[in-house]
């Protein structure tokens, strides 16, 4: 957005409520979701006498922050104005200079932020700098909404572990599809698939098991043409993660043809045949990481804690897991789920032919898991229910 285009589209809000302008900044921040990793998605609005004189959002890591864009758009009108930001302005040098310096130099008299930055390099220090330089500060406006927008960044910056979203498309009777599909069957509507691909887009990676990969042969990419999403996707860092103890991933899989890295986690035991399979996969470009495993019910199950720690070390901040019954059960029982999304589709398949998502999730009575924070998105006869688990 150029300074001139910003001034041409001035909008006025007569009651001057801080919530209104923070809400506008949050909507701007959403435009950067999926593109700013490992940075947060941030929006900023500069307001003078109830009129917006500049605004912007962080578009990509390494590029100017939202505050800088908004202040540049405001120009001299920033003098004596209020800037609304969705996250505490940074006070440290990274790839770009501290935003608090730019705010001070622009003559801003008041800063309203939605939430403090949990990054230890920033947390509280940005607001403290502003206060010490005579700038009025207000914090915590629409903080809950701001937290949701950056839930991936907040977990990663405080723990070094990725935010894990488990997403399942299920029938009303809890089936993922047919047990013996000879070809891929989509239960979700085309519009629902579009939303699923958007959910992929706002993460850094998608994860599946080798069993699911072999069954579906998905390309694990993002296929949305709306809002230049496909073009943006091809410019972002993207990782396709396969949990494959035995390295049974076929070298002919579509994941080797689509955008992004292929990261395969395998068990750390090898025989001659497995060594040969590894060689073929690496020739296709796969990055293979060996993992210790546990044997459960006669199967080698990878150490998920190590898997996710390794992903964090690779600066993969958010992972969307599209799990089959076995992986779903492991993620829930081992508490590796920060958010769960059910795409309920309007079908019954029954137990005879249906692939039951919950069949392997055997919980003891005292293992009951509560969920909270429900949000609902309806797309025709499909419904997306999002929850946050309350693990004890």
> Scanning the structure block, which residue is given the tokens 């499909």?
382
Q: What are the Cα distances from residue 255, in Å, to 160, 194, 281?
A: 27, 19, 11
* Token pair belonging to 34: 């999926």
pLDDT at 296: 74
Decide if 206 contacts 200 (C-beta within 8 A).
Answer: yes
Residue-wise pLDDT for 97-112, tens only, equals 789 999 999 999 999 9
**pLDDT, averaged across the chain:** 91
Cα-trace Rg, the chain: 23
* Cα–Cα dist 152/165, whole Å: 9
Q: Report residue 209 CA to chain centroid gap.
A: 19
Average pLDDT for residues 16-45, to the nearest whole number?
94
Residue-wise pLDDT for 126-159, tens only, equals 999 999 999 999 999 999 999 999 999 999 999 9
For residues 57 and 178, the model is more confident at: 57
Tell me the backbone φ, ψ of residue 337, rounded to 5 degrees. -155, 115
Decide if 104 contacts 130 (C-beta within 8 A).
Answer: yes
* Token pair belonging to 311: 């992903």
Residue-wise pLDDT for 209-251, tens only, equals 999 999 999 999 998 877 788 889 999 999 999 999 999 999 9
Is residue 322 annotated as part of the catalytic site, yes or no?
no
pLDDT at 276: 97
Q: Of 10, 21, 9, 66, whose CA–CA distance to 43 is shortest?
A: 66
3-state SS track over the chain: CCHHHHHHCCCECCCCCHHHHHHHHHHHHHCCCCCCCCCCCCEEEEEECCEEEEEEECCCCCCCCHHHHHHHHHHHHHCCCEEEECCCCCCCCCCCCCHHHHHHHCCCCEEEECCCCCCCCCCCHHHHHHHHCCCEEEECCCHHHHHHHCHHHHHHHHHCCCEEEEEEEEECCCEEEECCCCCCCCCCCHHHHHHHHHHHHCCCEEEEEHHHHHHHCCCCCCCCCHHHHHHHHCCCCCEEEEECCCCCCCCCCHHHCCCCEEEEEEECCCCHHHHHHHHHHHHCCCEEEEECEEEECCEEEECHHHHHHHHHHCCCCEEEECCCHHHHHHHHHCCCCCEEEEEEECCCCHHHHEEECCCCCCCCHHHCCEEEEEEEEEECCEEEEEEEEECC
Q: Is 15's pLDDT higher than 50?
A: no
* Token pair belonging to 351: 């137990």
Average pLDDT for residues 72-79, to the nearest whole number?
96
Residue-wise pLDDT for 161-220, tens only, equals 999 999 999 999 999 998 887 666 778 898 999 999 999 999 999 999 999 999 999 999
pLDDT at 5: 39
Catalytic residue among 19, 55, 67, 257: 67
Q: What percent of the chain has pLDDT over 90?
A: 78
């Amino acid at each position: 957005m150029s300074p001139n285009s910003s001034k041409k589209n001035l909008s006025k809000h007569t009651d001057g409520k801080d919530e209104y302008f923070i809400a506008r900044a949050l909507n701007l921040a959403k435009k950067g979701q999926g593109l700013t990793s490992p940075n947060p998605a941030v929006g900023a609005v500069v307001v003078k006498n109830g009129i917006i004189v500049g605004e912007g959002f962080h578009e990509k890591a390494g590029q100017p922050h939202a505050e800088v864009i908004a202040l540049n758009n405001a120009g001299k009108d920033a003098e004596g104005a209020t800037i609304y930001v969705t996250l505490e302005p940074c006070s440290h040098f990274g790839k770009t200079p501290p935003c608090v310096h730019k705010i001070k130099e622009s003559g801003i008299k008041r800063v309203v932020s939605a939430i403090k930055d949990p990054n230890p390099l920033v947390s509280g220090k940005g607001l403290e700098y502003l206060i010490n330089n005579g700038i009025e500060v207000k914090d915590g406006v629409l903080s809950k909404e701001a937290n949701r927008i950056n839930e991936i960044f907040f977990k990663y910056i405080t723990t070094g572990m990725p935010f894990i979203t488990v997403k399942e498309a299920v029938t009303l009777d809890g089936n993922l599809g047919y047990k013996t599909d000879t070809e891929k069957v989509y239960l979700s509507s085309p519009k629902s698939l579009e939303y699923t691909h958007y959910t992929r887009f706002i993460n850094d990676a998608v994860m599946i098991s080798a069993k699911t990969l072999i069954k579906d042969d998905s390309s694990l990419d993002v296929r949305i043409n709306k809002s230049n999403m496909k073009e943006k996707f091809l410019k972002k860092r993207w990782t396709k993660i396969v949990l494959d103890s035995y390295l049974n991933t076929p070298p002919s899989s579509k994941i080797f043809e689509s955008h992004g890295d292929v990261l395969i986690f395998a068990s750390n035991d090898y025989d001659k045949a497995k060594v040969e399979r590894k060689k073929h996969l690496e020739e296709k470009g796969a990055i293979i990481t060996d993992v210790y495993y546990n044997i459960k019910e006669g199967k080698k199950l990878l150490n998920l804690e190590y898997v996710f720690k390794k992903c964090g070390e690779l600066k993969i901040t958010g992972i969307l897991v599209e799990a089959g019954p076995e992986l779903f059960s492991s993620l829930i029982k081992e508490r590796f789920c920060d958010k769960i999304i059910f795409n309920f589709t309007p079908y019954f398949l029954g137990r005879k032919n249906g692939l039951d998502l919950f069949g392997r999730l055997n919980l003891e009575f005292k293992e009951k898991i509560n969920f909270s924070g429900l949000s609902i998105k309806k797309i025709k006869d499909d419904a997306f229910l999002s929850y946050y688990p309350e693990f004890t």
